Amino acid sequence: MKNKEKVIEIIDKIRPALQADGGDVELVEIEDDGTVKVRLLGTCGGCPMSQITLKMGIERILKEEVPEVKEVVPVL
Whole-prediction pTM value?
Answer: 0.90
Domain boundaries, the chain: 4-74
Query: Looking at the predicted structure, is the pLDDT value of residue 49 above 80?
Result: yes
Rounded to an integer, the average pLDDT of 51-69 is: 94
Instruction: Judge whether 36 and 71 are in contact, CB under 8 Å.
Output: yes
Stronger pLDDT, 49 or 62, i.e. the higher one: 62
DSSP string, 1-61: -TTHHHHHHHHHHHHHHHHHTTEEEEEEEE-TTSEEEEEEEEHHHH-TTHHHIIIIIIIHH
Query: Looking at the predicted structure, is the pLDDT value of residue 1 above 70?
Result: no
pLDDT for residue 19: 94
Rounded to an integer, the average pLDDT of 12-31 is: 94
- Superfamily for domain range 4-74: Fe-S cluster assembly (FSCA) (3.30.300.130)
Rounded to an integer, the average pLDDT of 50-67 is: 93
